[in-house]
Structures are given as structure tokens and as C-alpha cells.
Amino acid sequence: MAERNGSVAERSGFGRAVLWMALAVLACLSVFLVNGRPLFYFDTVGYISQGHSALRQLGIKGESPLAARIEKLEAEKAANIAAGLAEPDMAEIEAANTVDGSRSSVYALATGITARMHFLEGLIFLNVAAVLVALWLPMRVAARRWGLPVPVSQAVAMPVIVASLGSLPFFIAYLMPDTFAPVLLLVVATLTVFARHMRPWEILLAVALGALAIVSHLSHLAIGVLMVPASALVSVILSRRRWWLPPALVLVIVGIGFAEQSVLRSAAKAMSDSEVVIKPYITARLIQDGPGMTYLDRHCPDDTIPTCKLHAALQWSDDPYRITATHIVFETSARLGSFRLMTPKDQKAVADDQIGFFFEVLKDQPVATVMAFLKNTFIQSGWVAVDLTIPSDKIVAQNADVTGLAFSTFDHGRITRDTGWLGPLTTWHEVFYLLSLVVILALVLLPRRVPGEVKALAVMVILGILANALVCGGISQPSTRYGARVVWLLPLIATVLLIFARRARKFDAGAEGRG
């Protein structure tokens, strides 16, 4: 009889776990299901193109999901030349024959493979799995150490469901690598707080997930670098015993990120005799903010300073908007363009010089440079709207001829054509995140409500959100996309803290009853 009761209880527990996880998955997929098709960005086609090129270089032949688009552009180019008109934008064709180091080769390859399989939706399910595993790991270890008032499955599902009231489901549905930024932050926080108590296979799983996250976008590598000292500091505060283990594991993940960049360069040279070029985001940011332009005005022309070539290109037009970072990096028109109008050789020289240029500007104007970075970080921290996950008419047109989706095409869905809901939703999100931050700060500061290690997990996540703001806002360009991709971690972590606060109340109530 006891065995039968135990078996029934076990089946009941398994059923509840499956139900909670199903609810979490549905919450993550809510935007995708309501919209009826994935969300995408103007650079989604760039990842598909680069992934297809990588497969071709590896000798894997097959139908290109961009074949119709490229054929159409080639025909348009020939017709316009014959008519004496301006050529169309051939950036997509050029991207198929060059290696853009600003894009992740790993994510591009995954995109190319799923597009060849006509199942780009598979990237959405990869997003869901990554988020669930990234939260399951710390909750599993925490449950083993202190116990939980609810099963682990529920302790994972509840925070995910709450986070789905924010931007999480928009990025789950987004055919871009942004979901892996918060996944990286969760992995780094988990290793920092729990590495000493994790089993070897749990550590290996965390490192593998962190490695996938850090190679999925170049900005994630910069964030990972910033999180190493944060991990070391929090680890020392938590315990002097094996304090070096967490930052060492984070360094392993960062090392994998650098190794991926090195392999990309070697493979590009060996397989196609081409070189990897990373767009000069740092240079463009410094120029728009002022210190970079001041430095160039003082020192150019000078053949020993590669970035002076960009300074000269910026003089080709007197339109003040040509100085903005976005126009410097991407614009191709004669009125607003500069970098993209330079020769490929000069573009590579400017791009390769951006780190050296940053340190020269920092040395020349330290206060102005630091203040500009802090200002951009502050601006970035407050931008949390999901507007850039919603494809505009122009983005739909750019992707119109691209294939690779299993159940739909690159077109508007049920919620993307009319975006009147976006304003009220943004207001709700801002209030929601502010309340979540208040809950986090209250539970972190209140004594004995939540275990210290769980508080440290929350602190690491907040530091990660700030690192994301510094990297994306300070180095690249403040954007709602960069803020919204990680800010859903606030309600997620607030819910985790509330679960442990409930555990503390139950423990205190039990102690009083025994007394």
C-alpha cells in the first residue's frame, strides 16, 4: 500500500512539474503564438546570408534562402545601369562574399542551417530552452542547499511566467541573438554564487551554455570581460574558500569567446582568403559624443593615424547628421555616408584601429571620454521599449524574398502591422520594471529575509544589466533593443527573491510553532 501511494504521489509530482513547465513554455511563446509568425530585424537577412556563405565555404551545397533576393538585386542592378540610373543597394550580395566580424559566425551558422532546413522557427525554441536551463541550474542548486517552499519546476516556471509580462516573449520570438545576452548574465551569476556547491556536470552544463551565449554576439564577449572582475569581487565577499573558482570559470567562458574570434579569422583566411572586419562602432561612438571628433580635428591630416582617413571622409558633406554613429557605420548615401563610401582597404584600416583610437582619445581627453560613456550608459539603462523587435514596412520589404520559415513568410503578423498598442505597453513595462527593482532592493537590503547567496545572485544580475548598458550604450549606440533584451531579468529575479522570502516566512512560522 505504501509503495502504491508513493508511486501515485510520484506520478502526481511529475504531472505537476510537466504542467508548470508547459505553462512557462507557453508564456515564453505568447508573442510568437499571438503574432502568428516570428519577429525579425533588418539584420536577420544578414545572418541568414552569412550562414549560407559559411555552409558554402564548408562544402555543404544546397538551396540558398537568399537566392531569389540576390537574383532580384542583380537584375535590378543590370537594368538600372543600362538605364543610366543609380545602382540598388547591393549590401546583401556583398555580405555573402565577405566576413563581417560584427556578426557571430556561430549564430550565423545556426541561422543558415535552420534556414536550409526551412525551420528558422527552431531558433525560437532554442531561445526557450536556453532561458529555462539558465534559470533551472541556480534554482536546482539553491533547492539542494536550503530547500524551497515549492518544487523546483514551479520555482523555475513562476519567475519565467512573471518575466513574460515584460519583454521576454518578444525576444523569444525574435530571430536575432539577443536572448543570449540575459542567458549569459544568468550563467555568470550562477557560477559566481554557486560554483563551489555545483556538481561537475552542472558546472560543465553552465560553462557550455555560457559559451554558446558569449559566442552568439560580439557585444556578449565585451559584457563577459566586464563581468570577470565583478565575479571575483562578489565571490571574495561570499567566501574566501576557493574564491578563485567562480571568476576562473567565467574566464573560461570569456576565453572561449576570444577563441571563437581567432578561429573565425583563421578560417576566413584559409577557406576564402578573406579577412574579418569588425565595424568601427567604438570609433563612431567617440566621434558622435565629441571627444573623438575633437581629437581628429586636432591631429588630422596625419598618415600615421589610420582614423584620419575617416575624418577626411566626414568632410565630403556638410550635413551635421553625418556625424551620428549610425550614419557613420551604415549610411551609403553621398549626403550622410562616410565609412561605407571609403575604399575597402581604408575601411579595414579604420576598423582595425578602433581599439587603439579609443585609448589615444582616452589619453588625450580622459574626463570628457569617461563622462560620455557614463552618460550613454545612463541613457541606455532607461530605454526598455520593445519597438525594435517589431518589423517595420521597410524591414518586411528587405526580407520579403527570403525563405527559410516552416509555417509562414517574412511578413507582418497579427500584431506588427498596427502598433497602436506599443505606447501603452511601453508604459506598463516601465512601471513593471520599476516595481520589480523596488522589490529586489527591498529584499536584498532587508536582513534575514532571503539567503545571502540568493541576494548575491540578484546583485550579479543587476551588475550584468549595467554592464550591458555600458557596452551597448557606451561603446555602440543607446538603443531600446539593447535595454529591453535584458531588463526582463528584473521581474524574473524579483520573483526568485519572493519565493525565498516565502520560504523564510514558512521556516519562521514553523520555528514558532515548535517553540
At 362-375, the pLDDT tens digits run 999 999 999 998 89
Instruction: Please state the rounded mean pLDDT for residues 12-38.
Output: 93
In this prediction the pTM is 0.87
The type of residue at 427 is T
Read off the pLDDT band of 326 (50, 70, 90): confident
Residue with more model confidence, 382 or 268 = 382
pLDDT value of position 89:
45
On the CB side of 263, how many CA atoms lie within 13 Å of its CA? 10
Residues linked to residue 99 through DSSP beta bridges, in sequence order: 276
pLDDT value of position 512:
38
**Residue-by-residue DSSP string for 76-138:** HHHHHHHTTPPPP--HHHHHHTSEETTS-HHHHHHHHHHHHTT-TTHHHHHHHHHHHHHHHHH
Read off the pLDDT band of 101 (50, 70, 90): low
Read off the pLDDT band of 325 (50, 70, 90): confident
| Burial (CB count within 10 angstroms: exposed 0-12, middle 13-18, buried 19+), residue 461 | buried
Read off the pLDDT band of 58 (50, 70, 90): confident
**Residue-by-residue DSSP string for 12-39:** HHHHHHHHHHHHHHHHHTHHHHHHSS-B
Question: Using CA atoms, how far apart are residues 507 and 148, in angstroms rounded to an integer?
Answer: 10
| Burial (CB count within 10 angstroms: exposed 0-12, middle 13-18, buried 19+), residue 114 | buried
Q: Which of 345, 313, 416, 347 is nearest to 41 (CA)?
A: 416
pLDDT value of position 271:
61
E-strand stretches of 360-508 = none
Question: Using CA atoms, how far apart are residues 172 and 29, in angstroms rounded to an integer?
Answer: 7
pLDDT value of position 276:
66
Lowest mean pLDDT among 74-88, 161-175, 179-193, 299-313: 74-88
At 275-308, the pLDDT tens digits run 667 788 889 999 999 999 999 999 999 989 999 9
Lowest mean pLDDT among 18-22, 101-105, 265-269, 469-473: 265-269
pLDDT value of position 52:
84
Read off the pLDDT band of 474 (50, 70, 90): confident
Q: How many helices (H) and strands (E) would you count in the chain?
A: 25, 2
At 306-321, the pLDDT tens digits run 999 999 999 998 888 8
Residue with more model confidence, 161 or 400 = 161
pLDDT value of position 509:
44
**Residue-by-residue DSSP string for 243-289:** TTHHHHHHHHHHHHHHHHHHHHHHHHHHHHS--EE---HHHHHHHHH
